[in-house]
Amino acid sequence: MGLEHRPTLLHPKDQMSQGKMIKITDDVLKAIISEIHNRAEKPPAGFLSIDEWEVRWKCKRSCAKRYLNIGVKMGILKRIELRRLNAGFVRHAPYYGPVTKKAKNYLKHEKTKQTKKNR
């Protein structure tokens, strides 16, 4: 049994395309949608999305996500939420970047540990 057998009052045909992009024919609607797309934010320098970290580290998404979350817990990385244009919609997406002072201190401490082990 398809949708054609259901009463038209329950599911009017013009309201059944919830997941599809609508054609923009009105100038006011076009202006509103373009303003929504302009609200996407650019990340600060050094902050990358999970997809960009995945490409940079040459690993899968789950692996990059795990490393990023561990980095946030250790205090090396910082996680921020920014609006990002994704498939025609503006959505919140996490961006990860270095924490300034803590990360430098941690990395310096780790380097001294490694040099002591190598001696």
- Is pTM beyond 0.85? Reply is no
Which DSSP string corresponds to 5-43?
Answer: GS-TTTS-GGGS-SSSPPP---HHHHHHHHHHHHTPPPP
Residue-wise pLDDT for 38-89, tens only, equals 777 888 888 999 999 999 999 999 999 999 999 999 888 999 998 887 776 7
Residue-wise pLDDT for 90-111, tens only, equals 788 999 998 876 555 555 665 5
What token pair was written down for 94? 């996490």
Query: In this structure, which topology does domain 24-118 adopt according to CATH?
Result: Arc Repressor Mutant, subunit A (1.10.10)
